[in-house]
Amino acid sequence: MSADKKRICLWSSPRNISTALMYSFAQRSDTRVVDEPLYGHYLRISGAMHPGRDEILLNMETDGSKVVSEVMFGDFEEDILFLKQMTHHLVDIDTSFLNEMINVILIRDPYQLISSFHQIIPDVTMTDVGVEKQYVLFTELVSNGQYPIVIDSGEILKSPRIVLTELCKRIGIDFQESMLTWEPGPIPEDGIWAKHWYSNVHNSSGFEKQHTSSRKLPEELTPLYEQCKLHYEELFKHSIKS
């Protein structure tokens, strides 16, 4: 990899603003974005029954090792490769590639996260939401001598310009004003699962808080929330503040 090329992995939990952040980076003049390249691998290994599962498995590379070598470390013309990833997709795969990536961990208040995910997949588990996996990933990266950047969706929504400017600074790139807005509707880089998950982003033109953020958490999911909250609070201590 050329010294001036940057490969960024955004490690997010689901039902976060990861797609909005991908759209934000897609507006840059120097960046190529890729939507969840390990999704097919994850579905094959986990057997998870997600909306559009069969279509995803038919249309994506499902061998995680090939995804790493051909997508994450493949050639690209732009200066920056931005890989939107779900942390829970890191299953049965050699994660040593992370040592050559700029790793950004995107967290969200698990109360909102679990409430939102529950609307699409009712039986929510810790594996589904990936919050514990985010904390484990953070600690593993730190133990390997890398200090990953942590960003919180709530902080981004409060002050997009401030948080994105600091994010870019820590990555080692200039902030571009174009990152704050985009045209409503899909983008060519959307995964084929966009029709199941991306309606809020497709109706947006920037970082906007959704009315679903205040949705009540079902009582039976309270124990999961309490577990996730412990990991979230530890990660939030390290996050960029607005």
Position 16 in a domain = yes
Position 242 in a domain = no
Q: Residue 110: helix, strand or coil by DSSP? A: helix
How many residues appear in the chain?
Answer: 242
Q: pTM of this prediction?
A: 0.93
Q: Is pLDDT at 217 greater than 90 in this prediction?
A: no
83 phi/psi in degrees, rounded to 5: -105, 110
User: Which amino acid does the sequence have at 234?
Assistant: E
Tokens 């045209």 found at? 183
| CATH number, residue 206 | 3.40.50.300
Strands (E), 75-215: 80-86, 102-107, 149-152
Position 1 in a domain = no
Position 106 in a domain = yes
Question: Per-residue pLDDT tens for 78-105?
Answer: 999 999 999 999 999 999 999 999 999 9
Position 241 in a domain = no
Position 79 in a domain = yes
Instruction: Label residue 3 by pLDDT band (50, 70, 90).
Output: low
| Contact assessment for residue 193 and residue 15, using Cβ atoms and an 8 Å cutoff | no
The DSSP result for 174-210, as a single string, is ---GGGGB--SS--TT--TTHHHH-HHHHT-SB----
Question: Which tokens sit at 231?
Answer: 């990991």
Q: What is the mean pLDDT of residues 153-173?
A: 96
Structural domain count, the chain: 1
Residue 99, domain extent: 6-236
Instruction: Label residue 210 by pLDDT band (50, 70, 90).
Output: low
Position 208 in a domain = yes
Position 103 in a domain = yes
Neighbour-count burial of 1, counting CB atoms closer than 10 A to its CB (0-12 exposed, 13-18 middle, 19+ buried):
exposed
Report in angstroms the alpha-carbon separations of 11 from 14, 36, 227: 10, 10, 19
Instruction: Label residue 1 by pLDDT band (50, 70, 90).
Output: very low
| Contact assessment for residue 84 and residue 104, using Cβ atoms and an 8 Å cutoff | no
Instruction: Label residue 172 by pLDDT band (50, 70, 90).
Output: very high
